[in-house]
Structure 1
Amino acid sequence: MTSPKKVVLAYSGGLDTSIILKWLATEYGCEVVTFTADLGQGEELEPARKKAELLGINPDSIYIEDLREEFVRDFVFPMFRANAVYEGLYLLGTSIARPLIAKRLVEIAQATGADAIAHGATGKGNDQVRFELSAYALDPSIRVIAPWREWDLTSRTKLLQFAEENQIPIAKDKRGEAPFSVDANLLHTSSEGKVLEDPAEEAPAYVYQRTVAPEDAPDTPTYVEIGFEKGDAVSIDGERLSPAALLTRLNELGGANGVGRLDLVENRFVGMKSRGVYETPGGTVLLVAHRGIEQITLDRGAGHLKDELMPRYAELIYNGFWFSPEREMLQALIDKSQEHVEGTVRVKLYKGSADVVGRSSPASLYSESHVTFEDDAGAYDQKDAAGFIKINALRLKLLAARNKRIAD
């Protein structure tokens, strides 16, 4: 295969992607364009620009973009309309960020005339799949370079040696084995590897970065009211906020109360199991609240169908199929279900828990006159239940009679 002439690299400014930047230039002799996305990871991104310039990148070829609003509005919120949870627990914080990064990589490649994109995901993980499936879905002719699957820099020692030989700055805390790796965005923080590799050992306290320990959270609960329109959160305590600002506020409230910690051994798409420690404080509160408003606004049949489809939808996101037709089909169904999911939910945050304690909606299906233990004024004739039960029991009675006849 011929060498690429120009490559757009997903660049964090860290040691690994800085090594990749230099490796691409030396291995292929190509021009490198860097793309750094602000997805709310909480780090200053200007150092990435300075480091790229230091490594010889033309300032006009350095892209640093604030994608926080697009990330929450167009990726996180649609996913939360589905109440998507992978394997019953994981809120897909890393998974949902990858299609947006891939989308911008492809767009920048098209705008700059690049013939390839590159990423720093390893050959063992899910992210390589997510980046590349997304890229090919958006541009079938794009070439994807994954250095971890190509180079011989197979150890930390070799990486540091390459960095020193190519005058790549190495932070002092990077000399030696890092205790664990971290991926972060506005939805969550993910920690994996090294001190977390033994699933029998409790994660050290220093792994957690966004949440206080539940036992150290305030002794009095925090109450928060979240307003919804068409299935999306739009306000907190009556104040309308943009999607990113709203999730940021929920992160602060949830994190201060120890909400959103998860220690999980999950099944990766590539076949192995891995242990990760996740913090999703705002997302956990949002999921609880969204289910709360659906409880009074969503028809039983629609709600149960959503719950049946949700594991499939979550798996598609986890496996990297955000831009697949089946995910888009499911999204259309989910969005249809959200037309009247509106109102306000009150959530109680206390020492690691987030519980719905109140919900109201102008589109509520809840009828107090039908469920009251007091006089219902004729709203419901209890005698009707007898016929309902008899009809539903008919097949069970026929089965029982058949089985008794055979046994006799």
Structure 2
Amino acid sequence: MSKSIKKVVLAYSGGLDTSVILKWLQDAYQAEVVTFTADLGQGEELGPAREKAEKAGIKQIYIDDLREEFIRDYVFPMVRANAVYEGEYLLGTSIARPLISKRLVEIAHETGADAVAHGATGKGNDQVRFELAVAALDPSLKVIAPWREWDLNSRTKLIAYAEQHGISVPKDKRGEAPFSVDANLWHTSSEGKLLEDPSEEAFNEVCLRTCHPEDAPDKAEYITIGFERGDAVSVNGQALSPAGLVTKLNELGSKHGIGRLDLVENRFVGMKSRGIYETPGGTILMTAHRAIEQLTLDRGATHLKDELMPKYAKLIYEGFWFSPEREMLQAAIDHSQRYVSGEVRMKLYKGHALTVGRSSPNSLYSLAHVTFEEDEVYDQKDAEGFIRLNALRLRLIAERKQRLGEND
């Protein structure tokens, strides 16, 4: 390890791992440590993080409320793309990392630090996400990843180190943690330990944000979500800020048991992992956004977006938010949202968020064209030539097979 590091900005939660990392950085690098704690709507009291940092002798402590920026500048652009990783995952952990990384770099510049540090392990995706983001934003900064350097490779060793250096260890940390949890305003993610056997049902033990669907109200609830240029702006006619809107949808989704997911995913580093995710408001919002696009995007734009989406989602998952290709895709996606405005009516019931109606002043839906009744705008005879032209290449291929005696 380099001994030339003078000041490090640490992504700090105040938990056992990052508290140990804080002290370890001071000892191993003889460096001044600046702590940064991001409020992304994880629902935890952040005061203790400040108190622990102060007790550790930290002079520069940053605790930033980033909830609005998180939803407005990271989640909403992702929603415009309808981004879903491997068919199901709404990217709640992935999309938070570029914002945390950006603020780490900004604080490094503000404080004159020459390094940043994170608590991600050497097995997961987060180490990649943090470090790719830092490389894109300031490649001159050193990134310190203690889990890849130290020998504190067990909970027992961490606790022993903490006790040796006077770091308080909560009682619930002395035993083996049943699973790890990452939370923000968009989702919760739980994985590891108790959850490592993918054959075992885990919702009952894990879910923190949603009720069990079978315990949800027996009466459905109807809500209306308003959109302007691809972004949700209101719920039931009430204008809300980005973070306020997601908070409101989280309350509704939680009440009705919406947004639970048990997923075995492919990590970027190569292994499979099993996670339990809760994205109540996000599940409602993504469904509603799809519904308003059904009215306002034409077929070509819709199908192209659907082709681009897996690539876009993969870029977010793998940590390439600040890459030129993600920015290129975002420009195309944002251009597609010009007319994506209107209202979507949703039915929330026992774990389901169902679209039951949508309307838009920019609708491309034409009742005059699709009606089964008599109309004056569509000549059904035109379909004959349309079909004949589209069948031409298939006919030529079939005739060649007949000529060559091929029956398959």
Category of TM-score, reference length = shorter chain: over 0.9
CA contact (8 A) 2:3 2:29 kept: no
Q: Distance in 1 between matches of 2:404 and 2:226?
A: 59
Residue by residue over 1:173-214, the C-alpha shift from the partner in whole angstroms, topping out at 9 and shown as x without a partner, is 110101000000000000000100000111051300011111
The match for 1:198 is 197
The match for 1:123 is 122
Q: Secondary structure at the match of 2:264?
A: strand
Q: Distance in 2 between matches of 1:248 and 1:348?
A: 18
The match for 1:399 is 397
The match for 1:7 is 8
CA contact (8 A) 2:292 2:340 kept: yes
Residue 134 of structure 1 aligns with an amino acid whose one-letter code is A
CA contact (8 A) 2:343 2:360 kept: yes
1:6-155 to 2 correspondences below 5 Å: 6-58=7-59, 61-155=60-154
Q: Secondary structure at the match of 1:250?
A: helix
1:224-373 to 2 correspondences below 5 Å: 224-373=223-372
Residue 49 of structure 2 aligns with an amino acid whose one-letter code is A
Residue by residue over 1:18-43, the C-alpha shift from the partner in whole angstroms, topping out at 9 and shown as x without a partner, is 00000000111110000000000001
TM-score after normalising by structure 1: 0.98
Q: Distance in 1 between matches of 2:241 and 2:52?
A: 32
CA contact (8 A) 2:225 2:345 kept: yes
Choose the corresponding residue for 1:389, options 387, 390, 400. 387
1:285: how far off?
0.3
Residue 141 of structure 1 aligns with an amino acid whose one-letter code is S
Q: Secondary structure at the match of 1:228?
A: strand
The match for 2:156 is 157
Moved over 2 A (4+): none
Q: Distance in 2 between matches of 1:392 and 1:27?
A: 70
TM-score after normalising by structure 2: 0.98
Which runs of no fewer than 5 residues in structure 1 stay unpaired? none
1:3: how far off?
3.1
The match for 1:180 is 179
CA contact (8 A) 2:203 2:276 kept: no
Q: Distance in 2 between matches of 1:396 and 1:106?
A: 57
Which runs of no fewer than 5 residues in structure 2 stay unpaired? none
Q: Distance in 2 between matches of 1:134 and 1:285?
A: 29
Percent of aligned positions that are identical: 75
1:224: how far off?
1.0
Alignment size in residue pairs: 405
1:394: how far off?
1.0
1:2: how far off?
3.1
Q: Distance in 2 between matches of 1:171 and 1:406?
A: 78
Q: Distance in 2 between matches of 1:204 and 1:100?
A: 29
Q: Distance in 2 between matches of 1:11 and 1:380?
A: 63
Q: Distance in 1 between matches of 2:215 and 2:306?
A: 34
Q: Distance in 1 between matches of 2:390 and 2:337?
A: 31
Residue by residue over 1:226-274, the C-alpha shift from the partner in whole angstroms, topping out at 9 and shown as x without a partner, is 0000100000001110000000000010111010000000000000000
Residue 260 of structure 2 aligns with an amino acid whose one-letter code is R
Q: Distance in 2 between matches of 1:112 and 1:405?
A: 78
1:166-177 to 2 correspondences below 5 Å: 166-177=165-176
